[in-house]
Amino acid sequence: MPSPYRAIFAAPGTVGFSAAGLIGRLPISMVGVGILTMISEITGRYAMASALTGTLALAAAVIGPQVSRLVDQYGQRRVLRPATLISVAAVAGLLLAAANGLPDWTLFVFAAIAGCVPSVGSMIRARWTVLYQDSPRELHTAYSFESVVDEVCFIFGPILAIGLSTTWFPEAGPLIAAVCLLVGVWLLTAQRATEPPPHPRDKQTARTSALRSPGLQVLTATFVATGAIFGSIDVATLAFAEEQGSKSSASFILAIWALGSCLAGIVFGLLHLKGRTERRWVLGVSAMAVSMIPLLLAGNLPILAVALFVSGLAIAPTMITTMALIEAHVPRAKLTEGMTWISTGLAVGIAIGSSVTGLVIDAAGARSGFVVSISAGVAAAAVAFAGYRRLTRPAQGEEPSSDGGHAEGTDGKDSTGDGRQQPDHVA
């Protein structure tokens, strides 16, 4: 491991909570693809399968920020354990309903309840932020490492979920995902020394959402469109692989996509770039949009794999930059909630992207599903450009998670380029 990454694990407890986070985050990429594969295996209905995964994602989008708000207020252990038990029980009900051919509405009910799944990635990043809040370089490296972990999950998660559901039994993928969530959250919450301190709130503060920050609104809206990219590619790749006569290879194609992002994240974590963070973020979103175009031209699985690898190179750097912007725009007492809103935006987008793509594929074939990916990429870039000024505009209010500022110098401090310190950026 390169020395910057080795350095961040010098602090006690970092290896433990990071390992727990890896286990707890596998369901991110396993549950949706696993349910999609399970339903398509049992019924052959892609529209139904994508609508079900969309319901799960939408439910997580609605409930997830509320869970994280409670975490900020009461602490991770007190909130995450009961929330995880409810989510795992709902997934178990969903699997039983699917296996026994119960009416479709029962599947949607269980999928909606399962949406209280906690955002494990946000919980891990919150721990890193508390640990290295006064060390910008280490925090940048930690965020980069977590983005790499996300991509590792996206590399192996679909392989496990699709492989288990296609070669063992249809419900196997979502079942193992639920077990990983339960084990990961329990291991994480058992580590109290690195748990961020709760921030009790008065009545007025408790009613105020982190989403009141104009900057966070822009980031979240952009990631709704980004989520649509992810959701559409998952569904379209699975359907395209089936049309090519190799449905099980979809997991490997998606893993190659994540591998591109993983490698880019590793390299990005070693860099300490000058210039405005917002500009790098807009550039990253635009690169994701442009990289969608070759997907529509892929005529076979090898070409699709290459196209997805290239498109993946823009994902992790954009996610890392997003976390830096959240830290600048969200009060420390609402940091976990702020990070979860990005996951919420992705979840909403995944729900929209997967549902629309399922309908498009049923009507016009698998390759047409990538039209949704291209459209979502264009939408993400448009929102990013439209909201650029809101990201650069200082806000007044509560103390942000970082010292504010948007331009990252090589000394790890934020500067405007003319030597003046930027004002705080807060919600």
Question: Per the structure block, which two tokens stand in for 422?
Answer: 């930027």
In tens, the pLDDT along 213-222 reads: 777 888 889 9
According to DSSP, residue 376 is labeled: H
At 411 the pLDDT is 38
Report whether pLDDT(201) > 70. no
Residue 206: the pLDDT is 53
Alpha carbon distance 221, 316 (integer Å): 18
Distances from the Cα of 7 to the Cαs of 143, 147, 241, 329, in angstroms? 13, 17, 42, 27
Residue 425's pLDDT band (cuts 50, 70, 90): very low
pTM check: above 0.75 = no
Please provide residue 129's backbone torsions phi and psi, each rounded to the nearest 5 degrees: -65, -45
328 and 129 Cβ atoms separated by less than 8 Å: no
Count of alpha carbons within 13 Å of 359, Cβ hemisphere only? 9
Give the pLDDT score at 418: 35
Cβ atoms of residues 168 and 82 within 8 Å: no
pLDDT digits (tens, 9 = 90+) for 317-351: 888 888 878 877 777 777 777 777 887 787 778 77
Position with higher pLDDT, 31 vs 94: 94
Q: What integer best gives the mean pLDDT of the chain? A: 80
Task: List residues bridging with 400 in a β-sheet.
Answer: 331
User: Which residue did the predictor score with more confidence, 274 or 407?
Assistant: 274
- Could you tell me what percent of the chain has a pLDDT over 70? 86
Q: What is the mean pLDDT of residues 139-157?
A: 80
Between residues 391 and 168, the one the model is more confident about? 168
Number of domains present in the structure of the chain: 1
Residue 254 domain flag? yes
Q: Does residue 407 come out as left (phi exceeding 0), alpha (psi in the -120 to 50 range) or beta? A: beta
**pLDDT confidence of 157, banded at 50, 70, 90?**
confident
| pLDDT digit string, tens, across residues 40-90 | 777 766 677 777 877 887 788 788 888 888 888 888 888 999 999 999 999
Instruction: Please give the Cα distance from 381 to 291 (Å, whole number).
Output: 12
What would the mean pLDDT of 277-284 be, rounded to a whole number? 86
Q: Answer whether residue 203 shows pLDDT above 80.
A: no
Report pLDDT digits (tens) over 230-255: 888 988 888 888 888 887 788 788 88
Evaluate if residue 142 carries a pLDDT over 70: yes
Domain that holds residue 374: 13-197+209-392
The enclosing domain of 371 has a CATH number of 1.20.1250.20
| Nearest alpha carbon to residue 61 among 354, 261, 387 | 354
- Of residues 133 and 312, more confidently modeled: 312
**91: in domain:** yes
pLDDT in the model for residue 97: 87
Contact 91, 384 (CB under 8 A): no
Q: What pLDDT is attached to residue 409?
A: 40
Domain membership of residue 8 (yes or no) is no
The answer on pLDDT for 163 being more than 70 is: yes
Residue type, 59: A
Kindly state whether residue 39 falls inside one of the protein's structural domains.
yes
Q: Is residue 256 part of a domain?
A: yes
In a domain, 354, yes or no: yes
pLDDT in tens, 299-323: 888 999 999 999 989 888 888 888 8
| 5 in a structural domain | no
> With bands split at pLDDT 50, 70 and 90, how would you rate the model's confidence at 287?
very high
Alpha-carbon gap, residue 419 to 332, rounded angstroms: 26
CA 55 to chain centroid, in Å, comes to: 17
Categorize the per-residue pLDDT at 376 as very low, low, confident or very high, splitting at 50, 70 and 90: very high
Q: Is 411 helix (H, G, I), strand (E, B) or coil?
A: coil
Residue 136 lies in a domain: yes
Q: What's the average model confidence in pLDDT over 409-425? A: 34
